[in-house]
Amino acid sequence: MSDTALLLEARDLAKRFDSVVALKAASLSVRAGEVHALMGANGAGKSTLVKILTGVFPADSGTIAIRGVNRSVGSPADARRSGIVSVYQDPALVPDLSVAQNMRLAKVPMEAVRERLSQLGIDDLDFDTFIRDLPYPTLRLIDLARALASEPDILLLDEITAALPADLSERVFQMVRRWREMGKSVIFISHRMAEVSALCDRATVLRDGSTVGVTDTTRGSEDRIVTLMLGAEVAAAETNALHQPAVQPIRPDGPSALEVRGLRYGHAVNDVSFRVNAGEVVGVAALEGQGQQELFDCLAGARRQDAGSILVAGRELDFRHPADAIRAGLVLVPANRMLALLQQRSIRENVALPAFRRPRAWGPIRMGAERRRVEDAVRRLQIDTRAESEVRRLSGGNQQKVVIARWLASGFKVLLCFDPTSGIDIGTKRQIYALVRELAATGASVLLFTSELPEIPLACDRAIVLFGGRIVGEIPASEADEVTLLRAAHGLSPRMQATP
């Protein structure tokens, strides 16, 4: 293909924030009618590149050409006029406005949005509903529909499938393919390698702020991409980990660490009972909105169940506040790291925070002891501490590690992980799952919900399946392949029907 067919060509973009270099020499060329993956580990500079392309902030140097003409993209509105529209990782919808008002705000024709939404499988959305009252996956689809309605030449999808249930992800993929058939281009950012090889034509790989390679994404290119992303040596180690699910024999008769009996919360959780033994990792498999959020909230003390009981180490407990759950040893790692961390404070303060909950910890802080404990946890989790003075400047993966480090430093019995790897790069994901296994090996228990079903056999001993607020199945890790889990999560029988 000749260069004239290039829809977008970004050359040698560089950007620094104070002393931190976010981009060194990022280049990206996108042909008309292709789905182009943008890959890179956390902190490689993907988000920065996306923000420059969509006019959130300008590059320090480098050029952006659209259809061969150099352009400066000064604002999102500017980018839109140039034909670049982005769906960001967090929905760009204003919570206190209705759906219709949000569309008017972006000057997008309402009918086109309605049409795109129905193509995405949402026919009955009331456009007068406030954005704040809608569930997250719906917001992502509305955001996508709005982006499509302005008929962009280049659609930028940043982690669109993160936290989307499998059925909705599939609809998004169909839409992306349709977009490509119309001769338009899509820049697709995802940490899920399977999606990339199934959907994308080519991939540009970033490492440490520079473009390190452009490659076709045919089947079997995964290893090459991982090598590019991580650098040769790290990649060798990672690929090994990739092919070695860390399943260990379960100890079914171990002491019970957490037991839930007949738990009910509104209509969301119905008569849920299960048990997590000491040293066991139990996965929770569920499509979006099957009650997993409410279940985890009840266990973490953020909501109070209507009926049923929670037993920790055999003792029935009544949580009125997350502090009660934490005291009992039930600690939460939420999907949204913003909710768990003090964004403007240092790693040290964030990790040490729960240690100050007891009155005897009041009074002067023993800085020496605190620093040792924090450093211990930071080292164990390999947290990148270059930007330690403010947690909000860390990458998503490192932020998630800080949340886990906090509980490591303060001690816990059961770690409640709610989609801990959403929006995290593949390398850090593996680290987090290896860590989960390591914790279990030392006798801690983990309850893990993940929206990425293939991860369940990698990290868990067994999985419970939630559907419509009830437990509809329990699957040992050895049988928990994606197909089985997906069928179960849809409320179908776990085993494949024999097909004639």
Partner 1 sequence: MNAPSGSGSEAASEPAPLATASGPLGRAFRRHPTLFGMPALLVAFLALTVAIHPEFGSFDAQSLAMGALPLAMAAAAQAVVVLSGGIDLSVGSVMAVANVLAATTMHDGSFGESLLLSVAIIVAGAAVGAVNGLIVVWTRIPDVVVTLTTGFIWGGVALLILEKPGGGAPDDFLNLGTGTFMTDWLPNSLIMVVAVVVAIWVPVFRSRVALLLYAVGSDRTAAFRSGVNIARTRVLAYIVGGLFSAVGGLSLTMITGIGSPLAGVYYTLSGLAAIVIGGVSLTGGRGGMVGPVIASFVLTLIPTDLIFLNIDPNYGQVIQGTLIVLVVMVGGFFALKRSRA
Binding footprint of partner 1 on the chain (CB under 8 A):
54, 56, 75-77, 80, 86, 88, 90-97, 101-102, 104-107, 121-126, 129-130, 133-135, 137-138, 266-267, 289
Q: Which is nearer to partner 1, 300 or 440 (CB)?
A: 300
Shortest Å distance, C-beta 89 to partner 1: 11
Pairing of strands 185-189, 154-158: parallel
Q: Tell me whether residue 51 or residue 180 sits nearer to partner 1 (CB atom).
A: 51
Helix, strand, coil share (%) of the chain residues, nearest 5 = 40, 25, 35
User: Smallest distance from the beta carbon of 163 to partner 1, in angstroms?
Assistant: 14
Of 91 and 427, which CB lies nearer to partner 1 in the complex structure?
Answer: 91
> Which residue, 144 or 460, has its beta carbon nearer to partner 1?
144
- Please choose, from the candidates 92, 89, 67, 90, the residue with its C-alpha nearest in 3D space to the C-alpha of residue 77: 92
Q: By C-beta, is 100 or 313 nearer to partner 1?
A: 100
CA torsion angle 371 336 399 350 (round to 10): -20
Task: Report the relative pairing of strands 330-333 and 414-418 from DSSP bridges.
Answer: parallel
The separation between the first and the last C-alpha atoms of the chain, rounded to the nearest angstrom, is 45
Of 267 and 358, the one with the shorter C-beta distance to partner 1 is 267
Q: Which residues of 224-259 are buried (b: 16+ CB within 10 A; e: fewer)?
A: bbbbbbbeeeebeebeebbeebbbeebeeeeebbbb
Min dist. Cβ of residue 132 to partner 1 (A): 9
Please report how close the Cβ of residue 232 comes to partner 1 at its closest, in angstroms.
Answer: 37
- CB nearer partner 1, residue 289 or residue 454: 289
Minimal CA–CA distance to 420: which of 458, 387, 385? 458
CB of residue 156 to partner 1, shortest distance in Å: 11
Instruction: In angstroms, give the least distance from the CB of 128 to partner 1.
Output: 8
Nearer to partner 1, 126 or 438 (CB): 126
Pairing relationship of beta strands 256-265 and 307-312 according to DSSP bridges: antiparallel
Alpha carbon 18 to its chain centroid, in Å, reads 28
Distance in Å, CB of 202 to partner 1, minimum: 27
Sign of CA dihedral 30, 35, 41, 43: positive
- Hunting for tokens 């964004």 — which residue is that? 343
At a CB cut-off of 8 Å and minimum separation 6, what does 144 contact?
Answer: 87, 116, 120, 157, 160, 172, 175
Give the residue with the Cβ less far from partner 1, 6 or 97: 97
Number of H helices, E strands in the chain: 18, 20
Question: Minimum Å distance from CB 264 to partner 1?
Answer: 14
User: Quick check: 47 and 158 in contact, CB under 8 A?
Assistant: yes
In the bound state with partner 1, the residue whose beta carbon lies nearer, of 91 and 291, is 91
**Residue number with CB closer to partner 1 (130 or 173):** 130
Closest separation in Å from C-beta 129 to partner 1: 5
Cα within 13 Å of Cα(476), Cβ side: 8
Q: How far is the CB of 164 from partner 1 (least distance, A)?
A: 13
Residue nearer to partner 1 on the CB measure, 126 or 216: 126
User: Taking Cα atoms as reference points, which of 351, 341, 417 lies closest to residue 378?
Assistant: 351
SS3 of residue 135 by DSSP: coil
Find the radius of gyration of the CA atoms of the chain: 23
Q: Which residues face 414 on adjacent strands?
A: 330, 445
Least spacing, CB of residue 18 vs partner 1, in Å:
15
Which stretch of DSSP H or E encloses residue 145?
A: helix 136-149
Cα–Cα distance, 172 to 69 (Å, whole number): 31
Taking the complex as a whole, how short is the minimal distance between the CB of residue 91 and partner 1, in angstroms? 7
In the 8-state DSSP scheme, what is residue 308?
E
CB of residue 162 to partner 1, shortest distance in Å = 17
Q: How far apart are CA 270 and CA 434, in angstroms?
A: 32
Residue 94 or residue 317: which is nearer to partner 1 going by CB? 94
